[in-house]
């Protein structure tokens, strides 16, 4: 795992676990002062694992700003997922440039493909849900 990913887990006080899941990953919120745990599907390859961890860290960072219930409010759910995806994409782009790649030489379609982005508009902009 990338050193920066480990630092981000520490920054957001997250523990990491692997388990056979029906989805790529999720956060289990800790109770009674225990830390939240990012649980990643144990069947994923290394690149997918990193993307899932970054996505879940994005939830930890942004979900407190989303109004509405993730489970029952489609707007809250969409904005929560959007924020997590944007965080993951920003981190992957930072990794790309940290490797010494130059912005003028970047092949954005290859970067997007490497992180599994198919709908580029999906990651454009989102208003935080239900601020009324």
Domain-embedded: residue 60: yes
Q: Please, are residues 32 and 56 in contact by the beta-carbon 8 Å criterion?
A: no
Segment 64-91, tens digit of pLDDT: 787 788 878 788 888 888 888 889 988 9
Domain-embedded: residue 14: yes
φ and ψ at residue 64, rounded to 5 degrees: -65, -20
How far apart CA 114 and CA 58 sit, in angstroms, is: 18
How do strand 36-41 and strand 14-19 relate by DSSP bridges?
parallel
pLDDT at residue 128 greater than cutoff 90: no
Domain-embedded: residue 97: yes
Q: Domain holding 88: CATH number? A: 1.10.10
Q: What is the pLDDT of residue 106?
A: 74
Distance of CA 72 to the CA centre of its chain: 21
- Domain hosting 90: range is 3-123
**How many other CB atoms sit within 10 Å of the CB of residue 123?**
16
Q: Please, are residues 74 and 28 in contact by the beta-carbon 8 Å criterion?
A: no
Domain count for the chain: 1
Domain-embedded: residue 51: yes
Domain-embedded: residue 62: yes
pLDDT at residue 10 greater than cutoff 90: yes
pLDDT class of 3 with cuts at 50, 70, 90: confident
């Amino acid at each position: 795992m990338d050193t920066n990913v480990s630092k981000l887990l520490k920054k957001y006080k997250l523990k990491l676990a692997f388990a056979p899941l029906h989805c790529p990953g999720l956060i289990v919120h800790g109770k009674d002062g225990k830390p939240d745990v990012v649980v990643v599907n144990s069947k994923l390859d290394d690149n997918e694992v990193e993307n899932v961890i970054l996505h879940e860290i994005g939830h930890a960072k942004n979900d407190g700003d989303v109004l509405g219930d993730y489970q029952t409010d489609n707007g809250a759910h969409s904005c929560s997922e959007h924020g997590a995806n944007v965080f993951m994409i920003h981190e992957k782009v930072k990794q790309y440039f940290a490797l010494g790649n130059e912005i003028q030489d970047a092949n954005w379609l290859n970067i997007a493909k490497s992180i599994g982005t198919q709908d580029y508009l999906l990651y454009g902009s989102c208003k935080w849900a239900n601020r009324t």
